[in-house]
Amino acid sequence: MTRLSLNQITTKHWSLPEAVQGCVDAGVPAIGLWRDKVAEAGVAEAARLVRDAGLAVSTLCRGGFLTATGPEGRRAALAENLQALEEAAELGTDTLVLVAGGLPAGSRDLAGARSRVAELLAELAPHAGDFGVRLAIEPLHPMFCADRAVVSTLGQALDLAELFPVEQVGVVVDSYHVWWDPELERQIARAGERIASYQVCDWTLPLPADALLGRGHVGDGHIDFAALTAMVTQAGYTGWIEVEIFNEQVWRTAGDRTLRTMIDRHRAHVETS
Residues that bind its own copies (CB under 8 A): 103, 108-111, 114, 141-143, 145-147, 152-153, 155-156, 159, 179-183, 203, 205-211, 221-224, 227
Minimum Å distance from CB 226 to its own copies? 9
Helix axes 70-91, 110-131, angle to 10 degrees: 40
Q: How far is the CB of 7 from its own copies (least distance, A)?
A: 22
In the complex, minimum distance from the CB of residue 93 to its own copies, in angstroms, rounded to a whole number? 28
Alpha-carbon gap, residue 77 to 70, rounded angstroms: 11
Least distance in angstroms from the C-beta of 161 to its own copies: 14
How far is residue 110's CA from residue 236's CA, in Å, rounded to a whole number? Answer: 33
Taking the complex as a whole, the smallest distance from the CB of residue 230 to its own copies amounts, in Å, to 12
Q: Which is nearer to its own copies, 110 or 263 (CB)?
A: 110
Give the span between the Cα atoms of 39 and 142, in whole angstroms. 30
| Cβ distance to its own copies smaller for residue 48 or 267 | 267
Taking the least distance from each CB to its own copies, the nearer of 37 and 266 is: 266
State how far the Cα of 170 lies from the Cα of 119, in Å rounded to an integer: 16
Across the strands, what pairs with 202? 216
Classify each residue of 188-211 as buried b or exposed e, where b means 16 or more C-beta atoms within 10 Å of its C-beta.
Answer: beebeebbbbbbbbbbbeeeeeee
Choice between 44 and 227, CB closer to its own copies: 227
Q: Nearer Cβ to its own copies, position 35 or 114?
A: 114
Distance CA(257)–CA(4), nearest Å, equals 16
